[in-house]
Amino acid sequence: MGLCLGKSSAKLAHASSGQFSDNNKSGNGSTTQNNSSIVIVNNNSGSLCNALLASKGLSSNLKSFTFSDLKNATRNFRTDSLLGEGGFGYVFKGWIDENTFSPSKPGIGLVVAVKKLKTGSCQGHREWLTEVNYLGLLRHENLVKLIGYCSECDDKLLVYEYMPKGSLENHLFRKGAQLMPWSIRMRIAVDVARGLSFLHSLDANVIYRDLKASNVLLDSEFNAKLSDFGLAREGPRGDKTHVSTRVLGTRGYAAPEYVATGHLTPKSDVYSYGVVLLELLSGKRAMGDENAGGAEETLVDWAKPFLSDSRKVLRIMDSKLGGQYSKKGAQSAAALALRCLHTNPNYRPPMTEVLAVLEQLQVPREVSKILSRANKEDSVNEKFSPHRTMRNIRQSR
């Protein structure tokens, strides 16, 4: 089975992975998705999307946009509205009315991200269908919300909620980016785990298959959401242990058994999660020449010798953190990453267990809220002393 892995992840937020799920296309123009009840015919018009949505009972959940509407919303897809580019096509920033969803002027109404399929892209067309299939059906606080779609002849577009903080990749690796503190990193780790746990707990047992830092998007408060579902697949059912697929994904994130055999399971996502968790801990890319072995050495290969020794594990921590993190928390997170990265998928924990471990390490959200509220009150009313504030916080735990 041939290896078809993408290069390192896209540079800009909302850019797609550039690789697509292995749908089968028949000679008569109809499209069938493997392991799914969805069969779509007539792939030349908006009726394709309508048929897909109707088959899932989704016609009322998504807005059907005209191409003219989205052209106006993005100011004719101007370059200064461009957010990113990937294998799917280009992603633009746009504005629509919050109530009517009609196009509005820049700075007025709801900000959206509009993906525009590259003309003639067969792979992009497949991703468009897959995105509508999964994000049109699924709603969760840690999945990017799909607002609507456009399907007019060759014009295929998708409209998402806008994530103002961009991608995790940019915040971790872009030169000059503001330091992401330990508490935020762990909160992002929890949010990503929640998103994957949700997908794996569905009856369809959805496998995300493309977890990487560029596909984790952040809202204004650094809440993390999974984006780009073009590679998603329904997992094995009944007594089946895996789904056999073409090997697609991004080098450095894909599980070794999946790369070697094409056998896909939810544990493939767990491995990818372990890589992202390593990136959060180390501040290093999944693939990169900053590792001792150069550009061909993966982050996993570099980090594993340290992860297996609790006395050495702190050597992998991001130096930019300046030691401002919980040492025990870092050791526990590293131990969890090592379990997720086990070469034998049977020994990797399920995402529900990963989530449970991380939630114990995370600073309680209520405490964070109290701290934030106390800081605001202190700036307004000086009679709130620091000692009293901290005492109140301890009592609230």
Active site residue 210: yes
How many helices (H) and strands (E) the chain has is answered by 12, 18
* Percent of the chain surpassing pLDDT 70: 72
DSSP assigned state of 118:
P
Helix (H, G, I), strand (E, B) or coil at 17: coil
Structure confidence at residue 122 (pLDDT): 57
Report whether pLDDT(271) > 60: yes
Are 14-161 and 166-365 in the same CATH fold? no
Q: 27-31, 121-125, 222-226: which has the minimum mean pLDDT?
A: 27-31
Distance CA 40, CA 278 (A): 40
Choose, from 22, 191, 210, 269, the residue flagged as catalytic: 210
How far is CA 70 from each of CA 16, 62, 115, rounded to the nearest angstrom? Answer: 19, 15, 10
Q: Supply the angle between the helices 299-307 and 266-282 in degrees, to the nearest 10.
A: 80
Radius of gyration of the chain (CA): 22
**Per DSSP, which regions of the chain are E strands?**
3-6, 24-25, 31-32, 39-40, 63-64, 82-85, 89-96, 110-117, 146-152, 155-161, 166-167, 206-207, 216-218, 224-226, 233-234, 243-244, 247-250, 263-264
**Is residue 282 exposed (0-12), middle (13-18) or buried (19+ Cβ within 10 Å)?**
buried
Cβ(220)–Cβ(14) below 8 Å: no
pTM here?
0.77
Structure confidence at residue 39 (pLDDT): 27
Q: 21-25, 111-115, 369-373: which has the minimum mean pLDDT?
A: 21-25
Cβ(168)–Cβ(213) below 8 Å: yes
Residues with Cβ within 8 Å of residue 29, at least 6 apart in sequence: 41, 42, 43, 44
Residue 25: strand pairing partners: 31
How far is CA 103 from each of CA 94, 128, 251, rounded to the nearest angstrom? Answer: 8, 22, 39
Tell me which architecture the domain covering 166-365 has in CATH: Orthogonal Bundle (1.10)
Structure confidence at residue 183 (pLDDT): 95
Confidence band, pLDDT 50/70/90 cuts, at residue 367: very low
Report whether pLDDT(173) > 90: yes
- Give the pLDDT confidence of 317-339 residue by residue, as tens digits: 999 999 999 999 999 999 999 99
Q: Return the domain boundaries, the chain.
A: 14-161, 166-365, 366-396
Confidence band, pLDDT 50/70/90 cuts, at residue 352: very high
Q: In this structure, are strands 233-234 and 224-226 parallel, antiparallel, or unpaired?
A: unpaired
Distance CA 378, CA 397 (A): 20
Cβ(197)–Cβ(352) below 8 Å: yes
- Give the pLDDT confidence of 35-82 residue by residue, as tens digits: 333 222 233 334 444 554 454 444 447 899 999 999 999 999 998 889
The structure tokens 């779509």 sit at: 40
Confidence band, pLDDT 50/70/90 cuts, at residue 120: low
Report whether pLDDT(171) > 80: yes
Report whether pLDDT(8) > 60: no
**Is residue 373 exposed (0-12), middle (13-18) or buried (19+ Cβ within 10 Å)?**
exposed
CATH superfamily for 14-161 is: Phosphorylase Kinase; domain 1 (3.30.200.20)
Question: Is the CA virtual torsion 339, 340, 343, 349 positive or negative?
Answer: positive
Structure confidence at residue 363 (pLDDT): 55
Report whether pLDDT(148) > 60: yes
pLDDT average, residue stretch 333-359: 97
**Per DSSP, which regions of 172-262 are E strands?**
206-207, 216-218, 224-226, 233-234, 243-244, 247-250
Confidence band, pLDDT 50/70/90 cuts, at residue 196: very high
Structure confidence at residue 140 (pLDDT): 93
- Give the pLDDT confidence of 70-100 residue by residue, as tens digits: 999 999 999 888 998 876 788 999 999 999 9
- Give the pLDDT confidence of 197-220 residue by residue, as tens digits: 999 998 878 999 999 999 999 999
Which residues are documented as binding site for ATP?
Answer: 116
Distance CA 246, CA 87 (A): 17
Which residues are documented as binding site?
Answer: 116
Structure confidence at residue 20 (pLDDT): 29
Structure confidence at residue 151 (pLDDT): 86
First vs last Cα of the chain: how many Å apart? Answer: 53
Residues with Cβ within 8 Å of residue 393, at least 6 apart in sequence: 367, 370, 371, 374
* Percent of the chain surpassing pLDDT 90: 50
Confidence band, pLDDT 50/70/90 cuts, at residue 123: low
Mean pLDDT of the chain: 78
Q: Phi, psi (5° rounding) for residue 24?
A: -100, 130
**DSSP states along 31-58:** EE-TTSS-EE--TTSTHHHHHHHHHTT-
3-state secondary structure 264-307: ECHHHHHHHHHHHHHHHHHCCCCECCCCCCCCCCEHHHHHHHHH
Structure confidence at residue 131 (pLDDT): 80
